[in-house]
Chains A and B, each alone.
Chain A
């Protein structure tokens, strides 16, 4: 907790400010203590998440072993498929950039596989003990590798993005009989492009799926998202459950208990007009009160709500 911070008396900060070097070191130690206190752990997490390379183990889901294995599998499959196709289709005569594109793609995959291994090494092998922040600060050079690696990763991503666009242009532009000349290469190119398209649009797909899923799920669970705002009216079923009858001038005991006019239209009840009684025993014209209950299902006079 922030007890660490409070323990240092304010006088120590004023005394140490006399010499600038000691004050800065004090400030650093102070900052470390503050950052270590539990109330800042959330902020620290966010900070580390944003600065992926410096993050702690497990704080970034993309640095988890499972994700790395998945990445590794995807890259290996792509490399194997490209090499295999390139070897098999030696006799095929595609339009010229196609083979270059496939080759370049495979090359990019190999490089990213190497980078992936480096990342794994940097995260899980070299930094076995990075729990202490003070130690991390002293071992500054150990972070030079990850940061350079991060830059390489950015570049390779950039390369793939450009290569994806180029591939689209080349493959779909050179369709003049290229499929007949080099069917296997063509299929490979298209499948690689499709795979890329899916990975690039993955966040969007996820978003759309979520948008579809939430209403379906909420429907399935029977949760009404508009509860309280829109759905204040009574259903037809509720209305039909309420007692109603035709008004009769004489011998109607409701006439005695409550007033003889409908307080919604302010008109007196007439012979054979339809009357509805609410659970609170207030009576109204059937048409008047139904119109109101469909808007808000409570008695106009006493505000007692209808049972759902």
Chain B
């Protein structure tokens, strides 16, 4: 069984200093075994400014087995699959230790973003590009960050702006959009019916 008490504690710990670390862990559903972690892209890298979502699944052996983590946001990085989001990181595999926590694992992933290891790649194409054509790699990584890791904030602002222009109060618009998973049409229907 998953050590639920520990997971509770970890969530509490993590969300206490979210302002400092920028790392956030939230529940995906009702169960404590499916979580979503968010990490900010490290400053000074092509991932700067992006917010990356990481899908976390805790196996029954947790904390004696590593949590299963993969990127839900598309990332252009030698050690992260551009297709599936699978992460190539030793502490998520054989170097796991029960003294590590979700937060430290997410911090390690953040560190991996700023220090890629192209010699042990997960995505061979990206690793090749990283080694042979670094300029293009930086460009692509930045483009992917702009496109996939920033959409939520940019698009959200746009959507709010749109609905506010239709004459709804901004607070109501924001809460309705959040309740409907940022689906513009659904939120509009809700707003009109209320």
Contact = CB atoms under 8 A, between A and B. Distances in A.
Interface in B27-61: none
A193 B16 CA distance: 84
A263 B64 contact: no
7 contacts: A264-B63, A264-B98, A265-B3, A266-B5, A292-B98, A301-B97, A301-B99
Interface string B91-121: 0000001110100000000000000000000
Interface of B: 3, 5-6, 9-10, 13, 63-64, 97-99, 101
Nearest to B65: A295
A239 to B, nearest CB: 15
A264 to B, nearest CB: 4
Interface of A: 263-267, 288, 291-292, 295, 300-301, 303
B97 A288 contact: no
A300 to B, nearest CB: 4
Nearest to B9: A266
A292 B66 CA distance: 12
A300 B64 CA distance: 10
A301 B63 CA distance: 13
A267 B97 contact: no
Contacts of A300: 97-99
Dominant secondary structure of chain A at its interface with chain B: loop
Contacts of B63: 264-265
B64 A295 contact: yes
A267 B8 CA distance: 11
A291 B9 CA distance: 20
A-B pairs, 3 with minimum CB distance: A300-B99, A300-B97, A263-B99
A264 B63 CA distance: 7
Given A266-B10, A267-B6, A301-B97, 16 more contacts: A263-B98, A263-B99, A264-B63, A264-B98, A265-B3, A265-B5, A265-B6, A265-B63, A266-B5, A266-B6, A267-B5, A267-B9, A291-B64, A300-B98, A301-B99, A303-B97
A292 to B, nearest CB: 5
A263 B10 CA distance: 11
A264 B99 contact: yes
B64 A292 contact: yes
A265 B99 CA distance: 9
Contacts of B99: 263-264, 300-301
A295 B9 CA distance: 24
Contacts of B6: 265-267
A288 B98 contact: yes
A289 to B, nearest CB: 8
A157 B101 CA distance: 70
A301 B3 CA distance: 19
A300 B104 CA distance: 14
Contacts of A291: 64
Contacts of A301: 97, 99
Contacts of A303: 97
B6 to A, nearest CB: 5
